[in-house]
Amino acid sequence: MIRAFLHRLAVLENGVLPTSLDIIVNEKVAPIHIIGAGLAGSEAAWQIASHGVSVVLHEMRPIKSTDAHITDHCAELVCSNSFRSDDAEANAVGVLHQEMREANSLIMACADKNTVPAGGALAVAREAFSETVTKALHDHPLITIERGEIDELPSADNGSCLVATGPLTSEPLSKSILAATGEDALAFFDAIAPIIYFDSIDMDRAWFQSRYDKKGPGGTGADYINCAMNEEEYKAFIAAMLEADKTEFKEWEKAKYFDGCLPIEVMAERGIDTPRFGPMKPVGLTNPHDPETDPYAVVQLRQDNKLGTLFNIVGFQTKMKYGAQSDVFRMIPGLENAQFARLGGIHRNTFLNSPKLLDDTLRLKSHPHLRFAGQITGCEGYVESAAIGLLTGRFLAAEALGHAAVPPPETTAFGALLGHITGGHLIDSNGGRRSFQPMNVNFGLFPPVEFSKRREDGSKMRGVEKQLSKKKALAKRALGDTRAWLEEISIAAQET
């Protein structure tokens, strides 16, 4: 290896990323190819290039688009604009955020650069975020972005390849993956929530407030727009939603929804009160227009762009047809005259039977020159997809440079998520194997931890207080073990 150059990286302002990288380039190592420039592929490319290995990042857009994408940007967000909770002290996804930041994550750096208020959550200005990611990748001297469809998996003669094509893998490539795996891919459908222009919302009926006035990154405690419903309004709304025209599927298609992204009308089909215990729960909110009356249900909208001109309806992914959406959603108090920047939609999501097909560093067992990352592996969520991209990028870079690909400890958020994908958590209470389904990171995937069950005065903790103590212990252990793992692999690389 030789020190090739000192690259001045002017990708982001204000020191969000280092202003310079001293890159050691191994000119004898063949470039690593990545198929798909979504969150996982973009993060993997950054990690590989940051370790001095060249990358060719293949993205079929805009040569060939999809039903869900609008731009040709890398890491375009097609569903929500939220990365969910940023609480690294007591929330699993918040812990994953922090682990990624400490591992030099491009996705997290760009998210932090483009935040919009969202209570305790980390939400981003959608287009500004993807533009920032795209510029960072384009400006990196070791990353080449090639536009055009890859319709089949490359052979081992072409070197290492990462497949990060996400939930919208093209039909030709899907067939090639099926041929290589010998498995039937599983499929379900993701639904997209509608986006509304702020100036069309009636703020004489709606109001700004976060649940329990909670603040988050860049937040004020009044980050959501809330629309209250009484019992009569709620029941009429649910009835109209259930009766509305829906997107129909062909006989051979079977919708397998991931519970974390259920269409709102599918929730309602499970019981009339299900939405009231989900995205429409009325807790932690007081309507200033009618402070004496407790809302029966509340619809929340979250800022979707930096300017605050667009808001998305939180948890309102839908498979209703466009005409029906306009009519039904305008039944919500405050949205009677709503103008939609984007109506909701539905798209297919395909993922592998990863515990059977992939090893513990996400190589395809039958074709070890291939790795997979992102939602196609069976993780769910923006952050989780990017995190798996980060890990596979590091695994690929390590192998290219002659180092061991060392998985993170299972006590970390990285390791817990990787363990789910590779099968470590597919054992039911009777010791038998259960079916593999997509999963967000959560503390249920982490090994047990010792934690304090008593207060400082020696009295026993109860209920929520006890659970919070447990979560804090899991989070503290995870971040400590992540730092130790990153230090371990850094020292090993220097010694090799």
Does 38 appear as a known binding residue? yes
Q: Which fold has domain 2-185+352-425+479-495?
A: FAD/NAD(P)-binding domain (3.50.50)
Does 364 appear as a known binding residue? no
Does 40 appear as a known binding residue? yes
Alpha-carbon distance of 293 to 295, in angstroms, equals 6
Is 191-348 in the same CATH topology as 2-185+352-425+479-495?
no
Domains of the chain: which residue ranges? 2-185+352-425+479-495, 191-348
Does 391 appear as a known binding residue? no
Distance between terminal CA atoms of the chain?
Answer: 12
Residue 155 CB neighbour total at 10 angstroms:
11
Relative orientation angle of helices 92-102 and 382-400, to the nearest 10 degrees: 30
Which CATH architecture best describes the domain 191-348? Beta Barrel (2.40)
Q: What is the pLDDT of residue 429?
A: 40
Q: What is the pLDDT of residue 464?
A: 85
Does 119 appear as a known binding residue? no
Edge-to-edge order in the sheet of strand 32-35: 143-147, 55-59, 32-35, 161-163, 367-372, 363-364
pLDDT by 10s per residue, the chain, length 496: 333 333 333 344 444 454 334 455 666 678 999 999 999 999 999 999 999 999 999 999 988 877 677 888 999 998 789 999 999 999 999 999 999 999 999 999 999 999 999 999 999 999 999 999 999 999 999 999 999 999 999 999 999 999 999 877 888 998 899 899 886 666 666 677 899 999 999 999 999 999 999 887 777 889 999 999 999 999 999 999 999 998 876 554 556 676 667 889 999 999 999 999 999 999 999 999 999 999 999 999 999 877 788 899 999 999 899 999 999 999 999 999 999 988 988 766 778 989 989 999 999 999 999 999 999 998 988 999 999 999 999 999 999 999 999 999 999 999 999 999 998 544 444 444 446 777 889 988 898 999 999 888 989 988 889 889 999 999 999 999 999 999 999 988 787 6
| Strand, coil or helix: 341 | strand
Q: Which two tokens stand for residue 15?
A: 């020191």
| Strand, coil or helix: 30 | coil
Does 240 appear as a known binding residue? no
pTM of the model: 0.80
Alpha-carbon distance of 215 to 211, in angstroms, equals 9
The kind and range of the H/E element at 20 are strand 20-25
